[in-house]
Structure 1
Amino acid sequence: MHTLASLGAVKAPVVVAVGLGPAPAEGPVDSDVLSRAAGAALRSLTSRPEGAGRVVLALPAQTSAEAEAVALGARLGAYGFDRYRTGKTEKTTELVLASSASDAGDAAGRAAVLAEAVNLTRDLVNTAPADLVPEDLADTAQEIARQTGLQIEVLDERALSEGGYGGLTGVGQGSANPPRLVRLSHTHPEATRTVAFVGKGITFDSGGLSLKPAGSMDWMKSDMAGAASVLAAMRAIAALGLKVNVVGYLAVAENMPSGTAQRPSDVLTIYGGKTVEVLNTDAEGRLVMADALVRAQEDGPDLVVDIATLTGAQLVALGTRVFAVMSNDDDVRADVVSAAGAAGETSWPMPLPEELRSGLDSSVADIANVAGERWGGMLSAGVFLKEFIEDGVKWAHLDIAGPSFNQGGPHGYTPKGGTGAGTRTLVRIAEEYAR
């Protein structure tokens, strides 16, 4: 990518030339290549002190798919998070997309909805954890529900305790900021199928009494990225008016050490009655997810998809740009991976080996929250969650621990910090079920 002064050759003062790589032997340029190119160009322009102003996108956009890809990438690349910066000036960016596609306007409109959803996820992940405690995230969900017509129910700490949500109450009891379970629902009169999304919402994860090292804690504001992606996807689904019923659950808590925190060797009773021995309080996400997964199945969904920054082992296995997909059904796993690819996100299918279940045996409870050995931690976490899925219920688990937060430099349309990983995949799954 090169930025050049136009020297009056065109009306624009600056021209950004972006390479798309080798030309395809046949067919159009890959959509995500176009998105990344548009995103990289907008990042370079919006980072200027004066902002980008009016930007004309002259990338290939002859079809509606290409127009959507360019518009989406540009909006994602133009993202910036300046909530905490002093002396900031108002920057505006006007995008003009050159396309001969007859439905380019509709394509650009859909891109705007998707980009707003991804950028909402990014905003929530980037927000300082003191400004986004569980009650704050629930309040944000309330406001979005009011704006979009989504139905919402919020269970506070008292309702969670009385309802038997032992995972959420156990994880949240060490914090001065009590937990919440948020249920959002989108219904359509012509819908014949129901999808349930469940997101992990640990607004800050210190590790609890099994305290994390300081170097592993400074980005743990991102441990609610799964819940943020569910909330943002629900907003996009409502805006698109998809002909499918979708229920979204946000399992929200703060994992802190204190005199009231849960202890290693405590036993929790998950919603529905199954007991868990807590051997490591830093394996807390699976505890709140277990509560929400059991509750979500009461809605009778055709598919349950959970999304969580669940394990550091995900980064070891797949790095920082590829999220894992596990499932109790091979076809579902393949469909979710396909949906992620169609949405422009990178995922990889992973197994749930039966032999890992014995490592989660507990001497005092139905199951332990961590295995006795360190190997295959991402897979054993998936095996743990599978224990809370009823026979016959189709379920997929997305571990987005690495891709949800970019600790390196920006690339393509991906900024430093919160990335919005998984949001577009959830919307795409809903679209597939609407069809």
Structure 2
Amino acid sequence: MTALTLSKTSATELSADALVIGIVKGEDGPVPAPGASAPAALLSEAAGVLATLGAKGGKEEITKLPAPAGSGAPLLVAVGLGSAPEDGEGFPAETLRRAAGAAARALAGTEHAAFALPAGDAEQVAAVAEGALLGAYDFTAFRKAGEDDRGPLARVTVLTAGAEEAGRLAAAARAEVLAAEVARTRDLVNTPPNALTPADFAAHVTEAAAEHGLTVEVLDEAALREGGFGGILGVGAGSQAPPRLVRVAHTHPEADRTIALVGKGITYDSGGISLKPAGHNETMKCDMAGAAAVLSATVAAARLGLKVNVTGWLALAENMPSGSATRPGDVLRMYGGTTVEVLNTDAEGRLVLADALVRAGEESPDAIVDVATLTGAMMLALGKRIFGVMGNDDAFRALVAESAERAGEPAWEMPLPAELAEGLKATVIADLKNMGERMGGGLVAGLFLKEFVPAGTAWAHLDIAGPAFNEGGAFGYTPKGGTGTAVRALLTLAERAAAGELAARG
């Protein structure tokens, strides 16, 4: 993990291997970003060279050059912040976060970089620190070290001249926890499915819980059969790696609110008997991203000592075809007694979530949030960088979406049209079908899940199918592969609940 320090030392005095500065678009070329914690003379001298090199100051644009005389580092890295903010306004946190992340990625293999981006208050300090740490992420667990493997930026110093002492320290501490837990989710998502079966995942949860003081309970296949968890068992029936349901909880003695987080944890999704077509299997190790995010958010809440109870439920299974696999046409009896006719075994996430939602609801939390890479339909609706938010309570759905945006995770509120629910009930042999109308498929999936939420409990559903796994090039602080989507949104929601912004149940 990249180390983080804060310093009020001048950029001309701090010794580092690289100095990161911010630039913005000017009328005649790039100009120093207002509010940057670096001497104006140093920035002005560099501006002329940057213009000669073709730099324009566009967002996340990276330009490297030898540092001018007087710098404490031999290398200057200029990162674009776009247009300068209006008078009296600072840069948005997400602009700083992405700029710092882009610079950190560009400095892979560097030992120590000082970031002299605008960081005049705690919010800006947090944004720069988070962006730099998230951007420095690298997944190396399955790579053989070689000459071309530079490794991530090893150490980050954020220059914080002008920032209030207590605020900047708290911001840095939170940034370190947040980045570490986002990295945990990224690591889990990037881990190949032969190294992360449901049992492996459960063992990781147990280890993390012991390290950070959480309680944990793991239901194996025998306990799941005894408890009647037909959804999780049905999805995992075709695999030699049996399923698990894991409960992990952070409890604070002064908390008066409880949030239950439920995560889809399909460690590999072949589609089952309804096998996915060629070209759709290669990234299906990411189908446990929801469960990973739930784990990381719960651990982060514990590490930060948040005055809220957070209970994470990880529904873990591997969806494989075999002679014992659930068939289209089979009927499963879910935990709680509802029966579901399975028409498509590739609509499996909603089946494992249904069991976990009912079980989570038995503990009467004030709110439930489920997180899942659930439908391709959501990607068709919102693309690959935005996740959808649905729910049974307008105020709570808005709170969740606002928390995501505040954390820097693009989210969009989506409806749950009542007429689409009718298609889920058009069966003569069971209570529900696991498929409804094809159009609006992401909303249909949300309506299915709603059937398993207890009355009187606020609930939100996050469909993170698009942003959970980045198959394109890295950008900002987002790497290729697992992104850690939803961890920051869930943590922000937990913080707001601890601050009294979550209404009590019912």
TM-score scaled by length of structure 1: 0.97
Listed as ranges, the matches of 1:284-323 within 5 Å are: 284-323=348-387
Which of 44, 62, 66 lines up with 2:120 in the alignment?
Answer: 62
Instruction: Establish whether residue 352 from structure 1 lines up as the match of residue 412 from structure 2.
Output: no
TM-score scaled by length of structure 2: 0.84
Which of 72, 84, 97 lines up with 1:35 in the alignment?
Answer: 97
Match for residue 471 of structure 2?
407
The answer to whether the 8 A contact 2:81-2:95 is kept is yes
Cα deviation, 1:261-320, whole Å, max 9, x if unaligned, reads: 000000001100000000000000000000000000011100000000000101000000
For the residue of structure 2 that corresponds to 1:215, the secondary structure is coil
User: Structure 2 counterpart of 1:37, which letter?
Assistant: A
| Residue 13 of structure 1, CA deviation | 2.6
Structure 2 CA distance, aligned partners of 1:395 and 1:358?
A: 20
For the residue of structure 1 that corresponds to 2:137, the secondary structure is coil
Match for residue 4 of structure 1?
64
The answer to whether the 8 A contact 1:148-1:239 is kept is yes
Structure 1 CA distance, aligned partners of 2:452 and 2:122?
A: 42
Larger Rg: 2
For the residue of structure 2 that corresponds to 1:183, the secondary structure is strand
Which consecutive residues of structure 2, in runs of 5 or more, have no partner in the other structure? 1-60, 500-506
Match for residue 229 of structure 1?
293
User: Structure 2 counterpart of 1:315, which letter?
Assistant: M
For the residue of structure 1 that corresponds to 2:316, the secondary structure is strand
The answer to whether the 8 A contact 1:191-1:245 is kept is yes
Which of 177, 186, 197 lines up with 1:113 in the alignment?
Answer: 177
Structure 1 CA distance, aligned partners of 2:118 and 2:461?
A: 36
Instruction: Establish whether residue 418 from structure 1 lines up as the match of residue 478 from structure 2.
Output: no
User: Structure 1 counterpart of 2:93, which letter?
Assistant: S
| Residue 41 of structure 1, CA deviation | 0.3
Cα deviation, 1:35-76, whole Å, max 9, x if unaligned, reads: 000000000111xxxx12110000000000000000000000
| Residue 377 of structure 1, CA deviation | 0.3
Structure 2 CA distance, aligned partners of 1:425 and 1:4?
A: 33
The answer to whether the 8 A contact 2:62-2:102 is kept is no
Q: 1:11 to 1:333 in 2, by over 3 A?
A: same
**CA RMSD of superposed structures (Å):** 1.1
Which of 74, 82, 85 lines up with 1:13 in the alignment?
Answer: 74
Structure 2 CA distance, aligned partners of 1:340 and 1:105?
A: 23
Structure 1 CA distance, aligned partners of 2:64 and 2:131?
A: 21
Listed as ranges, the matches of 1:23-422 within 5 Å are: 23-25=84-86, 26-46=88-108, 51-88=109-146, 91=151, 93-99=154-160, 100-101=162-163, 102=165, 103-361=167-425, 362-371=427-436, 373-422=437-486
Structure 2 CA distance, aligned partners of 1:345 and 1:402?
A: 12
Q: 1:161 to 1:62 in 2, by over 3 A?
A: same
Structure 1 CA distance, aligned partners of 2:204 and 2:310?
A: 19
Structure 1 CA distance, aligned partners of 2:285 and 2:234?
A: 20
| Aligned residues between the structures | 430
Structure 1 CA distance, aligned partners of 2:283 and 2:74?
A: 39
| Residue 8 of structure 1, CA deviation | 5.8
Cα deviation, 1:311-365, whole Å, max 9, x if unaligned, reads: 0101000000000000001111111111111111100000000000111122210
Cα deviation, 1:196-217, whole Å, max 9, x if unaligned, reads: 0000000000000000012011
Structure 1 CA distance, aligned partners of 2:351 and 2:439?
A: 20
| Residue 7 of structure 1, CA deviation | 5.5
Structure 1 stretch 59-68 or stretch 79-88: which is displaced more?
Answer: 79-88
Structure 2 CA distance, aligned partners of 1:83 and 1:300?
A: 40
Q: 1:229 to 1:7 in 2, by over 3 A?
A: closer
The answer to whether the 8 A contact 1:3-1:14 is kept is no
| Residue 3 of structure 1, CA deviation | 3.0
User: Structure 2 counterpart of 1:62, which letter?
Assistant: G
Cα deviation, 1:8-36, whole Å, max 9, x if unaligned, reads: 63342321111111112141110010000
| Residue 90 of structure 1, CA deviation | 7.6
Higher relative contact order (CA 8 A, sep 6+): 1
Cα deviation, 1:166-213, whole Å, max 9, x if unaligned, reads: 000000010000000000111111100110000000000000000001
For the residue of structure 1 that corresponds to 2:80, the secondary structure is coil
